[in-house]
Structure 1
Amino acid sequence: MKSNVGKLLSTAAIAATISAGAAASTLEDVKAKGFVQCGVSQGVPGFSNADSSGNWTGIDVDACRATAAAIFGDAQKVKFTPLSAKERFTALQSGEIDVLSRNTTWTYTRDTSLGLDFTAVNFYDGQGFMARKDLGVTSALDLDGATVCTEQGTTTELNMADFFRKHKLSYVPVVVQKADEALAAYASGRCDVFTTDKSGLAAHRSKLADPSAHIILDETISKEPLGPVVRHGDNQWKDIVTWAMFVQVNAEEMGISSKNVAKIKSETNDPGIKRLLGAEGDMGAQLGLPAEWAYSIIAEVGNYGEVFERNVGPSTPVGLPRGINKLWTDGGVMYAPPVR
């Protein structure tokens, strides 16, 4: 009992320290240094991935670029810090980064015990399994006795344990620190199966020598709502990161894109669009941002549909359908509160 109380007190003390540190405005700090410091993955195509020249692209990268566009009117005012799953929360808690945008799952424990706040979901996902076609499995229920590779410090590791326990299947976990190390172990034959979020499986499969030789099994064994994370206690900063995403969803619903936003702003009589684009009201001032903060997001980064299609859509190597990430008006779950 004493040890449990000690743990609770320790957790409370950590949370209090983090909250006190966050009292200094993140927005002020970001403006002073002139860029957003964004924590990303060490390389997941379609989400956060650097090319040979060090140029970062992906859905999570665009979340940080949208925040920079809102603040500076310039989506390029971002610096990226690649982080492993094990490092990511500490980097945010310590102030090394301003926002974590690293295909990170929103869970109860993470939201309540780490001194962090999740903002808006930028990709609804679920965990699955990838296997070689020549293994001959067609279902995750065929994996009794399999050796399974995954990344340390993730919900994936816990979900995997729950799945095999629930279905009374045996397995041998191969847990490594980095996603690329897990993929390399799988590619070398060290394990039979690779497990992570299904979007991650599609991304990592695109890196393999022969992607067509591998199958992503049908089962989805968890809910994985992914999105940016900020430190607890700075509500203004949380609102900015959250609404940067909501702007993109609302823009797609309104038919506003990076290609037509300038024309629509100059011609529209729609009060809702005028508020969104800064032609009416003081929406930017309420966040401590310029009047055209939302206009800048759309013009520089695009609406949510544009972000999805160029990073992970069917025409990319990742090749994902919109699925549940369609707008609510199209049968999906992407839905944003109104700007009013």
Structure 2
Amino acid sequence: MRRKLASALGAAAAIVATALPAVAQAPAPAAPAPAAAPAGNSGSPTLDAIRARGTLICGVSTGLAGFSAPDSQGVWRGFDVDYCRAVAVAIFNDPNKVRFVPTTPQVRFTALQSGEVDILARNTTWTLSRDSALGLDFAGISFFDGQGFMVKRSLNVQNAAQLDGATICVQPGTTTEQNLADWARSIRVTIRPVVIERQEDNVAAYVAGRCDAYTTDVSGLASVRSQQQNPNDHVILPDVISKEPLGPLVRHGDQRFADIVRWIHFGLIGAEELGITAATVDQAVANDTRPEAQRMLGRTGDLGRGLGLDNGWMVQVIKAMGNYGEVFERNLGPIGLQRGRNALWTTPGGLQYAPPFR
């Protein structure tokens, strides 16, 4: 394997160092007319601080196409970005009242713990140790993922077991690094990790041939592959070596704010379950007689009060951002990601499921 990899890499004709530009997307959502927020103390210190400041502060990645990256105009785009915009809509009825703070794996948790950001939405895996030891809470699983490998097609590698003896680029301070070591030990292969802190530098090292393979979540591999000069020159191997449930985080101890973020996630999924889209939500408000839809859209009941929000909060979110499927396709479709496990539970293999709005 070592001789095969060395020969293939030595024959490479071009070396390209590439950063991660953003996926081209539609303009930033226009702000609807503001809705009045409930008066008085909300019962959430985080929510009160956000309202007093007039802006939600969201921690995102330093640049991962499809998930969170600034476009050519400096406007942040992506799946995780849209989750933050949805929270801003629920609070302010304005998707633009968000300030995005890029965070690396090494500083992301500290930024949330210290109050530098209000919410962290950046391809972060839900694990027991993170849930119990960091003073943080995961608000839901917005994306079911798993760790994989990408190699150059010229290496003619068909599966991960053939990487015995290979150098593999990996980012430190992530579950990815530990998963790589655990996987290699479990199938008794020898790998040589090349540990590089910044994601952009990891990608550049892989493209330049310093590593035989690059490992991260499959969603991240798809993002990186989509940004290469010739995406078809790179192959994502079929092996998935871990479970990586990704989702937004908030500080532990502010249950009401955690509930807001959690039920925005469930609302996006619930809207897709009900077939309510950005284009049809106004019609649904006027004509949809299904009890679940009436409660979600604030036509009956008083569900917003329990969150410290206006009862029309989910109407505003859907109108500005669309449902979960619309958020997914708008951001992740262009980088080649299929719904897979992130399809609704009513689809074979789909895991996305919203508890009832009642």
Q: Provide the secondary structure at the position in 2 that maps to 1:272.
A: helix
TM-score computed with the length of structure 2 as normaliser: 0.87
Aligned to 2:37: none
CA contact (8 A) 2:70 2:76 kept: yes
Q: Provide the secondary structure at the position in 2 that maps to 1:330.
A: coil
Q: Specify which of 336, 343, 346 is matched with residue 319 of structure 1.
A: 336
Aligned to 2:17: none
CA contact (8 A) 2:104 2:198 kept: yes
1:24: how far off?
A: 6.7
1:211: how far off?
A: 1.0
Q: Provide the secondary structure at the position in 1 that maps to 2:271.
A: helix
Matches of 2:239 and 2:56, distance apart in 1: 38
1:178: how far off?
A: 1.4
Match runs of 1:135-214 below 5 Å: 135-214=155-234
Aligned to 1:339: 357
Give the letter for the 2:76 counterpart.
W
The answer on 1:73 being equivalent to 2:93 is yes
| Count, aligned residues | 315
Q: Please say which of residues 272-281 and 241-250 is displaced more in the overlay.
A: 272-281
1:330: how far off?
A: 1.2
Aligned to 1:130: 150
Give the letter for the 1:262 counterpart.
D
1:269: how far off?
A: 1.7
Match runs of 1:1-340 below 5 Å: 25-313=45-333, 316=334, 318-331=335-348, 332-340=350-358
Matches of 2:226 and 2:86, distance apart in 1: 26
Matches of 1:54 and 1:42, distance apart in 2: 13
Q: Provide the secondary structure at the position in 2 that maps to 1:225.
A: strand
Matches of 1:275 and 1:333, distance apart in 2: 23
1:77: how far off?
A: 1.0
Matches of 1:142 and 1:46, distance apart in 2: 30
Aligned to 2:25: none
Matches of 1:114 and 1:86, distance apart in 2: 13
Aligned to 1:4: none
Q: Provide the secondary structure at the position in 1 that maps to 2:47.
A: helix
TM-score computed with the length of structure 1 as normaliser: 0.91
Matches of 1:46 and 1:24, distance apart in 2: 31
Matches of 2:269 and 2:44, distance apart in 1: 30
Percent of aligned pairs with the same residue? 52
Give the letter for the 1:84 counterpart.
T
Q: Provide the secondary structure at the position in 1 that maps to 2:221.
A: helix
Matches of 2:108 and 2:177, distance apart in 1: 16
Q: Which runs of 5+ in 2 are unaligned?
A: 1-42
